[in-house]
Amino acid sequence: MKVLLFDIDGTLIRAGGAGRKALNRAGYAIYGKKDLCSEISLAGRTDLWNFRELHRRATGRDPSPRELERLHQEYLSRLPHYVNAAIRKKTYIMPRGIKGLLKALSRRRDVLLGLGTGNMEKGARIKLGPSGFNSYFMFGGFGSDSFHRPTLLKAAVKRAARIAGKPVRSENVYVIGDTPLDVRAGKRAGFKTVAVGTGFSDWESLSRSRPDFLARDFRQVRRWLKWFDL
């Protein structure tokens, strides 16, 4: 059984900066300060990490669990608006080849498709909604599992093992993402990694991160299946 864990932002979809815009608005609603995300690198991070950094920038201290949850709820309340705005402005984009690859993988009985994302699960589902991809991913590891991406990836694999009814070997897990941080997290978790140039990182940075496989996009389904030993 192969377990394939896909990142969302920049990998499965690009949502026109909806997450950053929603978080900026949430920060303004709570702290009365604009553009709190302007100096925070969000790509490849977890929502919990991003919430903490925004709170630190606004207040100069770490947030309490209650403050984190308030920021989370403010963010979620604004996210659908910005996702819908991205659709209207045609900045909600699905990378080339992703529909065909997911369709091919979903037909296989020897594959479990999951999410490996820093988004909290509800936010992840909101972002994926317009793509129609939610139905492909019945489990995952999410930002709510941990501040740290390797930990949430391991949580996803535990869920996959429960679905499969047997342990999943590390060499049969593939982490697919668009940033060096995705690659680093996958490696630290002990899994294979695939970097794809569909998102927020330049090709040179992706190459230097030394993933097991590197692709410009999701076209050439046969090549992808070969990488996954399928």
What region, left, alpha or beta, does residue 167 occupy, with left being phi > 0 and alpha being psi -120 to 50 degrees? beta
Are both 99 and 142 inside the same structural domain? yes
Same domain, 58 and 144: no
Same domain, 131 and 78: no
Q: State residue 16's pLDDT score.
A: 93
CA atoms of 196 and 183, how far apart (whole Å): 10
| 123 and 42 inside one domain | no
Q: In the predicted model, is pLDDT for residue 40 greater than 90? A: no
Helix (H, G, I), strand (E, B) or coil at 160: helix
Same structural domain for residues 84 and 140? no
**Structure tokens given for 137:** 């991913």
How does pLDDT run across 59-75, given as a tens digit for each residue? 999 999 999 999 999 99
Give me the percent of the chain exceeding a pLDDT of 70: 99
190 in the same domain as 132: yes
Q: Are residues 83 and 112 in the same domain?
A: no
22 pLDDT band, cuts 50/70/90, is: very high
119 and 180, same domain (yes or no): yes
Question: Does residue 112 sit in the same domain as residue 179?
Answer: yes
How far is Cα 36 from Cα 137, in angstroms, rounded to an integer? Answer: 32
Number of domains into which the chain is organized: 2
CATH of the domain at 184: 3.40.50.1000
83 with 191, same domain?
Answer: no
Residue ending a domain, among 53, 88, 123, is 88
The pLDDT of residue 38 is 77
Q: What is the pLDDT of residues 82-102, one digit of tens each?
A: 999 999 999 999 999 999 999
Tokens encoding 55: 């709170």
Mean pLDDT of 94-118: 97
Show which of 39, 66, 88 is a domain's final residue: 88
Same domain, 111 and 189: yes
Higher pLDDT, 52 or 103: 103
Q: Which domain holds residue 120?
A: 2-15+93-227
Domain boundary at 88, 105, 140, which?
A: 88
Is there a single domain that holds both residue 222 and residue 131?
yes
Residue 44 has pLDDT above 70, yes or no: no
Looking at residue 43, what is its pLDDT? 67
Please provide the average confidence, as pLDDT, over all residues in the chain. Answer: 94
Question: Tens of pLDDT along 149-182?
Answer: 999 999 999 999 999 999 999 999 999 999 999 9
Our separate counts of H helices and E strands in the chain read: 9, 8
Residue 207 has pLDDT above 70, yes or no: yes
Residue 9 reports pLDDT greater than 80: yes
pLDDT, position 108: 96
* Rg of the chain over all Cα atoms, to the nearest angstrom: 17
